[in-house]
């Protein structure tokens, strides 16, 4: 039994570890084009902010670790060039020696992750236009900051990465201006939540330009000005492109592995692709919504881990299945936490639900214990009462409430069910009626 895994970040390494726990004798090899494996992509903004100064914290495990702990052979700086399903082989290039060789497989896992979306903007090939996806990307940004000591940055895009980097640069004393094509920042949120976040960011001296986009990066050899579509000009010392990521599916596509409607690799709940003995997991694969049952693309490290565990189990004869996701997302920007789960109001309406919507502001704990208000919007189906989603913005306690929502929504909770939750109450931790319980009360009266 020989298992080959293409890609060694979250999904691939989790799959390898699970496969080894199930099967003590299988030959397991991981090929990774990058130099780093098993790193925490989500840690990169904190590496850039200098919250983490030791690179080893971001990349805690290397090939030797996997060999010793799991007897898994990891080949870094090895690019897989082709998958040949008809002969069950892959073609590989050693990026250091430029040697080419083949490997056969019994089971193959594609966990090639995602790549940053690149827009065809004039000047975007200049050296101070950065993307953030890999540790190498982060190394470059760190090096630039320490060499140049920039005063200003323009971040194009206001999603999770853009927001986390706004914090990273602000805490290093770099003035941040964010550019967003949509009318509001963080366009996955409903409008009023985005507006609330905008108000906070402006108060923190983060510059926000919305309803506009980068048209041209000007300057030589380095960009020193961003010209927007509106004609407005932003002087800057460097640029971050954070306009999203897309599944890295080129290998799969060449091998005629079926892609789904989202553009990512189509998989079933066993993480099987359309081709026998080829599996896929992580940011290159489609997921599906627990709420609607429909496929969606929600590339998240925590989801990649879950998918990897299933893939590793299935490749070794197990019967674990992937149960879908809720698109749970959370980020911290300075002193504010923003989280969302499930469907926003606009998404719920698009899906054809008649919705009940609640808005409330509740402290995370009593005022005398330092409680601070969070702003909660929740959405339920008016026909069944089922909770469909929530968005929360606040300085503290947001992560706990979104995880309560996550758990409740997973089990199909109705608004009234939230009011009955026997949550832990003591003044250092919450209020006697938790904000989630209040939300349930508001929704169930609607």
427 binds a second copy (CB under 8 A): yes
Q: Which of the following is catalytic: 21, 23, 42, 421?
A: 42
Q: How far is the CB of 418 from a second copy (least distance, A)?
A: 9
42 binds a second copy (CB under 8 A): yes
In the region spanning residues 1 to 20, those forming contacts with a second copy, defined by CB under 8 A, are 10
Which one of the spans 26-34, 76-84, 305-313, 351-359 is the region binding a second copy (CB under 8 A)?
Answer: 305-313
Which one of the spans 23-31, 143-151, 251-259, 418-426 is the region binding a second copy (CB under 8 A)?
Answer: 418-426
Q: How far is the CB of 118 from a second copy (least distance, A)?
A: 25
**Rounded CA gap, 212 and 227, in Å?**
10
Q: Which is nearer to a second copy, 212 or 360 (CB)?
A: 360
Q: How far is the CB of 427 from a second copy (least distance, A)?
A: 6
Beta strand pairing status for 152-156 and 175-180? Answer: parallel
Strand stretches in 7-133, DSSP E: 27-31, 73-75, 78-84, 89-94, 100-104, 107-110, 114-116, 129-130
Give me 390's structure tokens. Answer: 């929530």
40 binds a second copy (CB under 8 A): yes
423 binds a second copy (CB under 8 A): yes
Phi and psi of 84, rounded to 5°?
A: -120, 85
Query: Of 81, 330, 334, 357, which lies in the binding site for a second copy, with binding defined by CB under 8 A?
Result: 330
Q: Which is nearer to a second copy, 87 or 424 (CB)?
A: 424
Q: Which is nearer to a second copy, 162 or 325 (CB)?
A: 325
428 binds a second copy (CB under 8 A): yes
Q: Which is nearer to a second copy, 65 or 369 (CB)?
A: 369
Angle between helices 10-22 and 63-70 (to 10 degrees): 20
Number of chain positions touching a second copy (CB under 8 A): 63
Closest CA to 392 of 438, 444, 323, 324: 438
Q: How many CA atoms lie within 13 A of 222 on its CB side?
A: 14
Which one of the spans 136-144, 217-225, 252-260, 419-427 is the region binding a second copy (CB under 8 A)?
Answer: 419-427
In the region spanning residues 61 to 100, those forming contacts with a second copy, defined by CB under 8 A, are none
Instruction: Judge contact between 39 and 68, C-beta under 8 A.
Output: no
Instruction: Judge contact between 438 and 419, C-beta under 8 A.
Output: no
Q: What DSSP designation does 363 have? A: E
Looking at 271-397, list the stretches that DSSP marks H as alpha helix, in order from N- to C-terminal side: 301-315, 345-350
**Rounded CA gap, 160 and 124, in Å?**
21
301 binds a second copy (CB under 8 A): yes
- What residues have CB less than 8 Å from 71, skipping those under 6 apart? 20, 28
Determine if the peptide bond prior to 230 is cis (ω within 30°): no
290 binds a second copy (CB under 8 A): yes
Give me 400's structure tokens. Answer: 């706990």
344 binds a second copy (CB under 8 A): no
Q: What DSSP designation does 257 have? A: P
Q: Is 284 a catalytic residue?
A: no
Q: How far is the CB of 25 from a second copy (least distance, A)?
A: 20
369 binds a second copy (CB under 8 A): yes
Q: How far is the CB of 421 from a second copy (least distance, A)?
A: 6
Which one of the spans 92-100, 148-156, 199-207, 297-305 is the region binding a second copy (CB under 8 A)?
Answer: 297-305
426 binds a second copy (CB under 8 A): yes
Q: How far is the CB of 32 from a second copy (least distance, A)?
A: 18
Q: Binding string, 131-170, against a second copy, x = CB under 8 A?
A: ---------------------------------x------
C-alpha angle 77-75-300 in degrees, rounded to nearest 5: 80
Q: Which is nearer to a second copy, 212 or 416 (CB)?
A: 416
CA dist 83 → 58, 136, 247, 263, 295 (Å):
30, 26, 17, 19, 25
CA dist 379 → 181, 293, 359, 400, 412 (Å):
26, 17, 9, 18, 13
CA quadruple 20, 26, 32, 36: dihedral sign: positive
25 binds a second copy (CB under 8 A): no
Where does this chain bind a second copy (CB under 8 A)? Answer: 10, 40, 42-43, 46, 51-52, 54, 57, 164, 290, 300-303, 305-306, 309, 323-332, 337, 339, 341, 366-369, 399-400, 402-404, 406-408, 410-413, 417, 419-430, 432-434
State the catalytic residues. 42
């Amino acid at each position: 039994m020989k298992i080959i895994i293409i890609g060694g970040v979250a999904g691939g390494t989790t799959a390898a570890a699970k496969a080894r726990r199930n099967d003590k004798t299988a030959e397991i090899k991981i090929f990774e084009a990058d130099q780093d494996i098993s790193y925490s992509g989500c840690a990169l903004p904190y590496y850039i902010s200098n919250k983490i100064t030791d690179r080893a914290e971001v990349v805690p495990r290397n090939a030797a670790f996997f060999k010793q702990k799991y007897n898994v052979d990891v080949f870094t700086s090895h690019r897989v060039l082709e998958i040949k399903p008809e002969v069950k082989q892959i073609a590989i290039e050693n990026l250091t020696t430029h040697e080419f060789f083949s490997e056969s497989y019994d089971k193959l896992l594609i966990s090639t992750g995602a790549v940053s979306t690149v827009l065809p903007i004039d000047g975007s090939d200049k050296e101070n236009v950065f993307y953030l996806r890999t540790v190498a990307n982060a190394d470059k940004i760190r090096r630039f900051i320490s060499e140049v000591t920039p005063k200003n940055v323009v971040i194009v895009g206001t999603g999770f990465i853009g927001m986390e980097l706004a914090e990273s640069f602000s805490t290093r004393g770099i003035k941040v201006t964010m550019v967003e094509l949509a009318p509001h920042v963080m366009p996955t949120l409903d409008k009023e939540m985005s507006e609330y976040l905008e108000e906070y960011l402006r108060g923190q001296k983060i510059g926000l330009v919305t309803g506009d986009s980068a048209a041209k990066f000007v300057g030589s050899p380095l960009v020193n000005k961003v010209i927007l579509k509106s004609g407005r000009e932003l002087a800057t010392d460097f640029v971050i492109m954070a306009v999203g990521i897309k599944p890295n599916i080129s290998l799969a596509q060449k091998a005629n592995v079926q892609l789904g409607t989202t553009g990512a690799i189509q998989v079933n709940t066993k993480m099987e692709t359309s081709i026998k003995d080829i599996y896929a997991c992580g940011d290159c694969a489609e997921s599906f919504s627990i709420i609607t049952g429909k496929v969606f693309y929600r590339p998240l490290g925590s989801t990649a881990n879950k998918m990897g565990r299933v893939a590793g189990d299935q490749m070794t004869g197990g019967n674990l299945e992937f149960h879908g996701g809720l698109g749970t997302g959370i980020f911290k920007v300075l002193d504010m936490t923003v989280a969302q789960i499930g469907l926003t109001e606009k998404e719920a309406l698009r899906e054809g639900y008649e919705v009940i919507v609640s808005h409330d502001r509740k402290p995370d704990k009593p005022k005398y214990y330092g409680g601070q208000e969070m702003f909660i919007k929740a959405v339920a189906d008016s026909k069944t009462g089922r909770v469909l989603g929530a968005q929360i913005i606040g300085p503290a306690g947001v992560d706990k409430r979104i995880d309560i929502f996550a758990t409740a929504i997973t089990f199909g909770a109705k608004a009234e069910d939230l009011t009955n939750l026997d949550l832990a109450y003591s003044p250092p931790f919450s209020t006697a009626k938790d904000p989630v319980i209040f939300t349930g009360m508001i929704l169930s009266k609607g």
